[in-house]
Amino acid sequence: MTVSFSTFERLKTKGVASYKNGDFLAAKTYLVDAAECLIELAEAAKSPEARRQHEELAAELIDLAKDSDAQHKSGGKGRRPVTARQGEKEGDSGADASDWIVKEKPDIGFDDIAGLEDVKEEIRLKMIYPFMHPELAQRYGIGTGGGVLLYGPPGTGKTMIARAIAHEIDATFFVVSPAQMLSKWVGEAEQNVRKLFEAAKAEPTAVIFLDEIEALVPKRKSDSSSVMQRVVPQILQELEGFDRKAGRALLFIGATNRPWMLDEAMLRPGRLDAKIYVDLPDAPARYRLLEIYFDGRPLAVDVDYGALCDRLVGYSGADIKNIAAQAAQKPFMEAVAGGEPRMIEMKDVLAVIEETAPSVNPADLVRFETFDGQGKPASQSK
């Protein structure tokens, strides 16, 4: 089996982000997976030098994973960021919500996201303007808050957009990992859902973000576990009970790269009724991604973003970020080995592209484009 560098990159990014957020259990899992990926990549590496580099980095990741495990077991004392403890009383039975809810104030905005102009505009209209102009929204009967589903292939910026929305409306961002939440859910499911919504409602403005939401609210089957059968209706009820009055609002964002696995009841009006398709980057977005991710790196004059854009049709934002990082590695390694430091040249970038397949395959893309969630079709991808 071959793993791609972008898979590793994404696992590592998620692991490090979880670690920074104090989500140590998730961090450990991601970091171990990232290290395993890297070990596989090391085995496949062409040069001994690259192999050694990969192995060293894998060892570092394992150390960080061990630290995450220790932090998790000790309750993360010392390094932990603000976590949600609202609504919890002494003796309140059940899990400590701070184990699985992370609260943050994201600092990335829409300007940091390449392309996706339609998506940004739709979000501005449905979510940002009503928050920013509450009196006007009230006057015209425009609701604030509600549910949004971001769906699309992996690495297209869904998680990034969710963070940016919270930033744009200066909301507290609650990140919930379904995997973690579920593991805590044996017998405590309803209570956990209630705690999550209570913690969010205690903030003037809050965004609850559920990544990989299909893991939490999959299609209800008659034979599915009883936990799911109780929890799904409860989430739906909490969603409907949102305080939609202007001024105090709660936004619920779910993201998935497998929308067809979601329970249809989640997609009805009043629930995750705004469904937004986050597509692969179009040509201007690919251009912008190159600008963002080559920014600050020494580039030779022959590097032609226009030509690279044409070559990068089908690649995701995460792929392009990763290609930029890898293209810098060769000249860097040469300089480390004692060579004269040189610029990153067009051939370095092309060589990386040659070796890297897009992480999203065309067959999967068709599934998104034909997904009947009344989301917009892939008008932007060309």
Ligand X SMILES: Nc1ncnc2c1ncn2[C@@H]1O[C@H](COP(=O)(O)OP(=O)(O)OP(=O)(O)O)[C@@H](O)[C@H]1O
Residues contributing to the site for ligand X (CB under 6 A) = 13, 113-116, 154-160, 255, 257, 281, 289, 292, 317-318, 321
CB of residue 154 to ligand X, shortest distance in Å:
3
Interface region with Mg ion, contact rule CB under 5 A, candidates 38-46, 157-165, 240-248, 329-337: 157-165
CB of 81 to ligand X, least distance (A): 19
As measured in angstroms, the least distance from the Cβ of 62 to Mg ion is: 24
Residue 195 or 321 with smaller CB distance to ligand X: 321
Residues 6 or more apart in contact with residue 343 via CB below 8 angstroms: 298, 299, 300, 331
Stretch that binds Mg ion, among 141-149, 154-162, 307-315, 349-357 (CB under 5 A): 154-162
| Least distance CB 164 / Mg ion (angstroms) | 13
The tokens 């339609």 sit on which residue?
Answer: 118
Residue 19 CA to residue 37 CA, distance in Å, equals 19
- Unique residue bearing structure tokens 């590695």: 329
Residue 158 or 184 with smaller CB distance to Mg ion: 158
Of 315, 308, 297, nearest in space to 365 by CA: 315
Rounded to an integer, what is the distance from CA 314 to the centroid of its chain?
A: 19
Of 133 and 258, the one with the shorter C-beta distance to ligand X is: 258
Three-state SS for 92-114 is CCCCCHHHCEEEECCCCCHHHCC
Report what 156 binds from Mg ion, ligand X, none; CB cut-off 5-8 Å by kind.
Answer: ligand X
331 binds, among Mg ion, ligand X, none (CB under 5 to 8 A by kind): none
Q: Which is nearer to ligand X, 12 or 195 (CB)?
A: 12
The C-alpha angle with vertex 296 and arms to 292 and 297, in degrees rounded to 5, equals 100
| Interface segment toward Mg ion; rule CB under 5 A; list 8-16, 158-166, 305-313, 366-374 | 158-166
Cα angle value 296/301/303 (rounded, 5°)? 75
CB-wise, 17 or 227, nearer to Mg ion?
17
H/E element, 146: strand 146-151
| Chain position whose Cβ is nearest to ligand X | 317
Q: Residue 150's beta-bridge partner residues?
A: 255, 276
CB 155 to ligand X: min, Å: 5
6 contacts Mg ion (rule: CB under 5 A): no
Decide which of ligand X, Mg ion, none touches 127; Cβ closer than 5 to 8 Å per partner kind: none
Instruction: Output 11 or 250, the one with its CB closest to Mg ion.
Output: 11
Q: Which of 18, 68, 83, 159 binds Mg ion (CB under 5 A)?
A: 159
Least distance (Å) between residue 156 CB and ligand X: 4
Q: Between 255 and 272, whose beta carbon lies closer to ligand X?
A: 255
Which CB, 211 or 263, lies closer to ligand X?
A: 211
CB of 161 to ligand X, least distance (A): 7
In angstroms, the Cα distances linking 76 to 81, 85, 105, 108 are 9, 15, 20, 26
Q: H helices of the chain, where?
A: 5-20, 24-44, 48-73, 117-123, 129-132, 134-139, 158-168, 178-183, 189-201, 226-240, 283-294, 305-311, 317-336, 346-355, 362-369
- Decide whether 292 or 357 has the Cβ nearer to ligand X: 292
Lay out the sheet containing 146-151: strands in order across.
Answer: 101-104, 172-176, 205-210, 249-256, 146-151, 274-277
Task: Give the shortest CB-381-to-ligand X separation in angstroms.
Answer: 13
* Structure tokens given for 274: 């705004």
Which residues contact residue 29 at a Cβ distance below 8 angstroms, ignoring those fewer than 6 apart? 15, 179
Instruction: Kindly state the smallest distance separating residue 157's Cβ from Mg ion, in Å.
Output: 8
Please report, as ranges, the residues that interact with Mg ion according to CB under 5 A: 158-159
